[in-house]
Structure 1
């Protein structure tokens, strides 16, 4: 599929979202639009797969199949291959068609049928390997919510409208060479994030930042066994890594229930097999779900300076993730707790790249103790990359990327990159945005570990120690621009000339005022 066709699909999908503007709040219609796109995807996937099994049978179109034995056989194969099952009468197109019925003998009321179908998708997986991945997946699609209509008829009308518009769009799932729908889904998530304000950080990392993180953790690799995100949001970061290298297994954890559901949908919709991903819903710092595993690549955009239990939870002092550092991260700033957690889960041959607020680079107290231990005792800090301010949705603070490696190839230095200058981003609306060339320059500078005037510096560990393990980027990358020198004599001459011209103008103006018989203004 061409780029033009992909953009057309994105525009069509966003157009459906725009139909609901003013009728439903942005957060609510996001859940309905993304949820129904996912339902349509599952339906089309089921239809294509079932028809491939029916080749050679008397009935060659799954939509027309009624034979109970054939349906049972298709169900068994579907649960193994797809992880779920839909009857012909439960397909998206069938429900949308019922919504179009408007005769005296047939009602277009579909809410109960739709609710039953969504429940059955989940129920079909019970007792199978995919049960956990589909459990309560559609719980945010509340078809009885007054948010989408004050009456049953109004709610039905909104849902019918969404399904009708989606039913007209060809997802082209038969195009095996393209992840078009997955890309369009990512596009929609980004568009919703752009309009969600502060809450957007809960589920979305800007695409160009995701690209940097993905390229950093895949440096020198084309295949990676496992990738992990402890605050995975919608799963976009994990999926971005898969665009840079072949990934065998995806792991993630997310606290927010709605966002956790979105992450699982995103994985399935990007054709990641249910056996190849493990997304859990829990507090990563308090209840890590994958702590016995080690990952070759770790990417994250944790909530900035979040609160956590810290030393209020006595178990944290003995937790292997935190205990060796001598101090726990402050209760009001969990940034280092997330960093320590990720380092603990990092494989010896792995790379971790995560976004943090700049405070992790220079704040003192417990954070200073932890930072010094990471550098002096463990020698795991590989790079610090400063990003432009106002690049994340919902916050304008400047941020940085911290890169950690347990087995560093060049373990006697640390690369500092300052990509925050005005030459290294563009302004798009109210946001700053990295361009493709900005991303490539960051990745290339990191890979080659080069010093560039006013952009990057390769600092020795001795220099870091001399700065008391303060990692504030301006200490290492000098971006100071000398102001143009001013000739005071020239300025003085100019002032004399201006004074002379002013006096001449005053004389002329006085003459004009006398001719007009009015007072002079001075």
Structure 2
């Protein structure tokens, strides 16, 4: 297969694999099969390329060539040494008969059995802690794949053959990672409301990341944290804007196990070194994480579930994340609990950007007290209103709140970006032009009529610490005044023109004749009714 110049060919091949499963189950289920098997192909192909390099000190022309060289090498006395070196360097070893290349050949020869793939999954999961339970969501024995062993194996074989068309040998990590991101986005579109569990639209991700990384682009060993990481897409955005992407340390937590596994795969597919992946499967609010090693970060990025329920038990008032505020976020609205969790884990010179519903800007009671404390401490740096209907799981308008740990001022920049979008079929879309306009307003940090307002602490205090954006940015477009005399003149002119046209039309009617008396009678009635 020719070298993939861009990700389009790869994307179309991978997405066509979804067609095999689409009639059998919904997207929220078949995404696990497709993304899991793509990931296994990535592990297998990468392994064969690396093992060939160790044996021959070269890159193979084909994966079959690499597999043949591997099989031959295992016959020699250095076989165990080769396996040990691969395990030490890459954390896993795949036996020849469990490689994806072998499976694809078996599928083409109608000799594939899903037991082989299950064994391959098990071996990877047991090879190193970083792969533990990674394929747990892929049920190769599900009746959704067909009834009985043969039909289920045939469905999986069809998927393996289709995905084998993807040329990973000639695709670098960025192309493959982006193709994987595209697939995740497509699944988000198909699954609708369920997509909120694992996907933040790229436009929102770009704004959050550009804001949080500003001034830290050249930092080596940048640490980025997302305590509600979903599929990890938001975390991985940091790579695009850092001058030292290979040294970024990623910290993320996710409660949903399927989504957590998706994030782990996403990290590998983007070429992130296992030593820089620090991901945890857990409930962010109920169990603080991380609590040892590194606990505060240069960047905190968050798109938590909006107005979610949480326990809010009194014991949390002693929790270091919340204890400074004297009150807890309401049980039915965990928004400020997520915000305070993120702020707690932010370095003193870092930046945090979080997406939340507008209610957090103006709701009172406990939320009002937390908001006032944050404002008095100078923690809230900017508030950005986004367009409605950007997300797959909600059509409500949302806002980005930017926070800093310690700074001199207490002013807040308000940006109204609610009109910066193109209308899409399902969701509204923000283009790069819209995104750059928002970033420019954020960077300038000054008042721009109808778009941004830099509010002093006194402005905010006068508004009783209400941060509702229309209180600060007036984007009302005043309608042009109507010139009544010109309007009357136009109306008279229109009446005169109508009268003239009507007169000409009646004249034409009067010239019409007919030998039929009924027709002439109707014609005369029409002329009379027209008043001429």
TM-score when normalising by structure 1: 0.90
Taking the TM superposition and a 5 Å limit, the aligned residue runs for 1:14-53 are 14-53=15-54
Aligned position for 2:85? 77
- The answer (yes or no) to whether the contact 2:16–2:162 under 8 Å persists in 1 is no
Query: Does the alignment pair 1:389 with 2:385?
Result: no
456-465 vs 12-21, which moves further: 12-21
* Cα deviation digits, residues 98-132 of structure 1 (max 9, x gap): 12224xxxxx241111111111111222xxxxx1x
Taking the TM superposition and a 5 Å limit, the aligned residue runs for 1:247-262 are 247-262=247-262
- Give the deviation of 1:519 after TM superposition: 6.3
- Give the deviation of 1:514 after TM superposition: 7.0
Measure the CA separation in 2 of the matches of 1:518 and 1:331. 79
Measure the CA separation in 1 of the matches of 2:454 and 2:226. 28
Aligned position for 1:151? 148
Q: Aligned residue pairs: how many?
A: 502
- Pair 1:436–1:174, CA change in 2 (3 A): closer
Measure the CA separation in 2 of the matches of 1:71 and 1:90. 17
Contiguous gaps of at least 5 residues in structure 2: 59-66, 511-518
- Give the deviation of 1:60 after TM superposition: 8.0
- The answer (yes or no) to whether the contact 1:291–1:345 under 8 Å persists in 2 is no
* Cα deviation digits, residues 340-367 of structure 1 (max 9, x gap): 0001111112110111111111111111
- The answer (yes or no) to whether the contact 1:202–1:233 under 8 Å persists in 2 is yes
Aligned position for 2:179? 184
Measure the CA separation in 2 of the matches of 1:453 and 1:369. 30
Query: Does the alignment pair 1:315 with 2:310?
Result: no
- Pair 1:291–1:476, CA change in 2 (3 A): farther
Q: 1:206 aligns with which of 201, 210, 213?
A: 201
Measure the CA separation in 2 of the matches of 1:75 and 1:362. 60
For the residue of structure 1 that corresponds to 2:482, the secondary structure is coil
Q: 1:112 aligns with which of 97, 110, 115?
A: 115
Q: 1:62 aligns with which of 61, 70, 90?
A: 70
Aligned position for 1:303? 305
- Give the deviation of 1:90 after TM superposition: 1.2
Query: Does the alignment pair 1:121 with 2:150?
Result: no
- Give the deviation of 1:87 after TM superposition: 1.3
- Pair 1:495–1:25, CA change in 2 (3 A): same
Measure the CA separation in 2 of the matches of 1:142 and 1:467. 56
- Give the deviation of 1:141 after TM superposition: 0.9
For the residue of structure 1 that corresponds to 2:258, the secondary structure is helix
- The answer (yes or no) to whether the contact 1:454–1:479 under 8 Å persists in 2 is yes
- The answer (yes or no) to whether the contact 2:4–2:171 under 8 Å persists in 1 is no
Contiguous gaps of at least 5 residues in structure 1: 103-107, 126-130
- The answer (yes or no) to whether the contact 2:249–2:277 under 8 Å persists in 1 is yes
289-298 vs 193-202, which moves further: 289-298
Larger of the two Rg values belongs to structure: 2
Aligned position for 2:522? 516
For the residue of structure 2 that corresponds to 1:429, the secondary structure is coil
445-454 vs 324-333, which moves further: 445-454
- Give the deviation of 1:168 after TM superposition: 2.2
- Give the deviation of 1:417 after TM superposition: 1.0
- Give the deviation of 1:490 after TM superposition: 3.0
For the residue of structure 1 that corresponds to 2:248, the secondary structure is strand
- Pair 1:341–1:173, CA change in 2 (3 A): farther
- Give the deviation of 1:63 after TM superposition: 4.2
Taking the TM superposition and a 5 Å limit, the aligned residue runs for 1:337-348 are 337-348=337-348
Say what the alpha-carbon RMSD is for the aligned residues.
Answer: 2.5
- The answer (yes or no) to whether the contact 2:416–2:451 under 8 Å persists in 1 is yes
- The answer (yes or no) to whether the contact 1:387–1:398 under 8 Å persists in 2 is yes
Measure the CA separation in 2 of the matches of 1:54 and 1:505. 93
- Pair 1:488–1:443, CA change in 2 (3 A): same
Q: 1:482 aligns with which of 453, 472, 478?
A: 478
For the residue of structure 1 that corresponds to 2:465, the secondary structure is coil
Query: Does the alignment pair 1:374 with 2:374?
Result: yes
TM-score when normalising by structure 2: 0.88
- Pair 1:515–1:56, CA change in 2 (3 A): closer
Aligned position for 1:403? 402
Aligned position for 1:418? 416
Query: Does the alignment pair 1:466 with 2:465?
Result: no
For the residue of structure 1 that corresponds to 2:355, the secondary structure is strand
